[in-house]
Amino acid sequence: MLKSNCIDVIKPFIEAINSRQANEVQIIGGINSVALVHPDTIIDTNNKKVIIPDSSELYLSTHRLDGTLRDLDVLVLSCDEYEIENVRQIVDETVGNSLEQSVFGFKSYKSLNKQLRNPFGIAALKTFLSDRYCLEDEDMMVKSLFPFSVLLEKQSLETWELDYDDMSIPIPNPAMSIINYTNRSISGVRSKDKSKVDMLASRVFKKAPELLDWAVDGPGASQVALGGLIRSLNQNKKQSNYFGSDKQLIPDSRLAEHESFMLPNLSGIAKFSIIALAQAKAMGLSYVESNTAIVTFWQKNVEKHVDSIVMNK
């Protein structure tokens, strides 16, 4: 029987991950978000749990309103491609084609270096989405969306549990769920996600205000700053300020001088050109994302065939 609830679809995957003691993973995106915005959700910061009471129902359709299949986004907390592939196989075995599979981990620093070696080359120009990268010293990690990069604090990667029914689903810190939406795309928070992220921030920070401090002054701070830089690339776009710490957009003249700019030793003209290209990409993508017809066409006919862009390959 075809299952229509994402929660039912992922149950075999969660059971398999737990039984096989596979690598640490986190479910991010829609399934996580629908739990966090549920009115009955309890956020237990002491035990790092998000709890849905037994009497409540958690539902997320396997299909979006436009009829396209929803994604299952699984972050593998590893730099090892073998370990990432292991989780990818488990997803394929347990979920199959019931959801669009998106399994990813930390990328190699070699992938990031391609962008740095040639900032006007294909690798840099086609980068529209952020990624997490391991540096040569694998104890150090960054989150980068060219031309900006910030160090990842290990605590920001902490895994929480979403307790629902008889499942314990691994998820990121709820504040990180909000942060991820702000620095995922070079366009900022996508038009289709804005109302969801607005509600996420409202519900999470009202129920657990200490998580706002965690985001602004704690382990999430560097990634909040990355989101602020991305917001500043498109100053004409109305974007919500979820953290209260980045109300002022950074002027164009200061973006290339920011400590998170990845190529500080370039000439002023080169840095200005890189920022101008990033702004053009941000504004162009924002326009495309605000057009429902284009977004639907992309999801139905294009997205599967452009992994090199979607997955920064």
What mean pLDDT do residues 174-184 have?
95
Kindly report, residue by residue over 49-98, the tens digit of the pLDDT.
999 998 788 999 999 888 889 999 999 999 899 999 999 999 999 999 99
What mean pLDDT do residues 242-260 have?
83
Q: In whole angstroms, what is the distance from residue 229 CA to residue 146 CA?
A: 11
The beta strands (E) that lie in 85-210 are given as 100-104, 131-134, 141-145, 148-151, 159-164, 167-172
Q: Which two tokens stand for residue 37?
A: 């915005």
Do the bridges between strand 159-164 and strand 49-51 make them parallel or antiparallel, or are there none, so unpaired? parallel
Q: What is the mean pLDDT of the chain?
A: 88
What mean pLDDT do residues 210-235 have?
94
Size of the chain in residues: 313
User: At residue 285, does pLDDT exceed 80?
Assistant: yes
CB 99 within 8 A of CB 8: no
CB 246 within 8 A of CB 218: no
Q: How confident is the model at residue 237 (pLDDT cuts 50, 70, 90)?
A: confident
Please name the residues in contact with 248: beta carbons below 8 A apart, sequence gap of 6 or more. none
Q: If you search the block for the tokens 């495309």, which residue do you land on?
A: 288
Q: How confident is the model at residue 308 (pLDDT cuts 50, 70, 90)?
A: very low
Query: Count of CB atoms within 10 A of residue 19's CB?
Result: 8
116 half-sphere exposure, CB direction, 13 A CA radius: 13
pTM over 0.75: yes
User: At residue 245, does pLDDT exceed 80?
Assistant: no
Looking at the DSSP bridge assignments, the partners of residue 107 are 133
User: At residue 197, does pLDDT exceed 90?
Assistant: yes
Q: In whole angstroms, what is the distance from residue 117 CA to residue 179 CA?
A: 29
pLDDT at 255: 94
Please name the residues in contact with 196: beta carbons below 8 A apart, sequence gap of 6 or more. 33, 37
Looking at the DSSP bridge assignments, the partners of residue 150 are 143
Q: In whole angstroms, what is the distance from residue 280 CA to residue 286 CA?
A: 10
